[in-house]
Structure 1
Amino acid sequence: MSNVVSQYLGELPKKEQEALETVRKQILSLIPEAEERLSRGVPFFYYKGKRAVGFRSSKTHLSFFIMEGKVLDTHRSEISNYDNSSTIIKFSLDKPLSKHIIEKLVRARIEEIEKSLLKKTK
């Protein structure tokens, strides 16, 4: 696990730290080869050199990021109970993202990256 992401999490209040560590562990279980980095102060998981997903703690909420691609647009109905945009899903300690949603989004983003890499090799 990345020291910079561990340091980021270590600076958060305990409950936010625990919630995001749970998300982190799930992401790493789905993409164990992911490289963890900070991008503009936000922890991101890179797959085959491409930014896959990330998360962050803010004053009023927690966020799950998919900064590229169409994954959130494709799964809009499944995240409609959360404040969301084209790249971010906002959630809280009281209303966390389900493991099912996280898994579905991470898998969809990995598939999207794989397809984009295949196109480049053709």
Structure 2
Amino acid sequence: MKPSPRITHISWGRMVVDGVGEGKDFKLYPGGGRPWDWNETGTRHSPGIQPADVTELLEHGSQVVVLSRGMDLVLQTCPETIDMLNDRGVQVVVEETRAAVERYNALTATTPVGGLFHSTC
């Protein structure tokens, strides 16, 4: 399995991901990633990250999923999302964005990890 791409820069409203590019929000998983468009699933800060948001990460083989809460911890995660990941035996990490990036990058060397990253609020 190909490794997950590393995040090389994070600041308010801007991320840079190896092999994926630059943007504001990202979905990352083993072998690649793409910009995270909240409109695809109707995601909003509340109730937050939905099961449909993480499905693509699982389809790409993520065994650990890192979910960021935003720089100011505004982004929530639906309880159903955590339940779905737990039911599938997937380890879940929910952190403030900078901490989430650190945790995710540390895992990329050894673990099939996926993540959702929100670089503002």
TM-score over 0.5 (shorter chain): no
Q: Report which of the two has the higher share of helix.
A: 1
Q: Report which of the two has the higher share of strand.
A: 2
Q: Please, what TM-score do these two structures have when normalized by structure 2? A: 0.33
Q: Which structure is richer in relative contact order (CA contacts within 8 A, separation 6 or more)?
A: 2
Q: Please, what TM-score do these two structures have when normalized by structure 1? A: 0.33
Larger-gyration structure (1/2): 1
